[in-house]
Amino acid sequence: MKTIKIFIVLFLFTITAAKAQFTKAELQVSGLTCALCAKSTEKALRSLPFVGDIKTDLMHNLYLITFKSDVPVNFEQISKKVQGSGFSVNSLKATFNFNNTKIANNNFSYGGDTYRLLNAGDKTFSGDVSLTVVDNGFAPKSVSKKYLSQVTDTAQPASGRLYHLAI
């Protein structure tokens, strides 16, 4: 009987934990000069295991990425795929579903990484919230400098990467 109760608790935990995730992103790439460049970058991004669909806006050098619901998203891999195609990330805005997400000291964990909300204050979050990654390599230098100069807590997570996010 005790084993069944433990199993049920673990099962419920996995169901609720699966709801908190990044659902989509708007990725702006700099350096694209033609449709062939955009197509090769799109092909590289599609090879990532967590990418479900991509829509390309060539006029604004944007990729609208929809993520798979059962695979954790890794922003570092997105950046590496863009750089591997010969370009750079100009901005990355992602939508995170905060249902069942615990936020402590403006930090939350997802997929083995830690995410720090820089301008959240005492807000509480639920549902989908749009967040901008402001780390170097994910935002223009002026944006990174503006937000990262305000960071006072430089403690690194025990494992994974630390991402800084603005709302």
Mean pLDDT of 138-164: 87
pTM (2 d.p.): 0.82
In a domain, 103, yes or no: yes
Q: Please give the Cα distance from 34 to 55 (Å, whole number).
A: 16
Q: How far is CA 71 from CA 18, 19, 37, 52, 74, in A?
A: 9, 11, 27, 10, 9
- Model confidence over 82-120: pLDDT tens digits? 999 999 999 999 999 998 888 888 899 999 999 999 987
pLDDT(13) > 70: no
In a domain, 5, yes or no: no
Could you give the maximum distance between any two Cα atoms of the chain, in Å?
64
pLDDT(27) > 80: yes
Which structural domain, as residue segments, surrounds residue 50?
21-166
In a domain, 13, yes or no: no
Pick from 60-74, 91-105, 151-165: least confident: 151-165
The domain total for the chain is: 1
In a domain, 39, yes or no: yes
In a domain, 77, yes or no: yes
Mean pLDDT of 120-143: 89
In a domain, 161, yes or no: yes
pLDDT(15) > 60: no
pLDDT(7) > 80: no
Give the torsion sign (CA, 54, 57, 58, 63): negative
CA dihedral angle for residue 97, residue 98, residue 100, residue 102, rounded to 10 degrees: 140
Q: Please give the Cα distance from 113 to 95 (Å, whole number).
A: 16
Q: Which residues partner with 97 through β-bridges?
A: 21, 128
Residue 97's CATH number: 3.30.70.100
Please indicate whether residue 159 or residue 47 has the higher confidence score (pLDDT): 47
In a domain, 10, yes or no: no
pLDDT(6) > 70: no
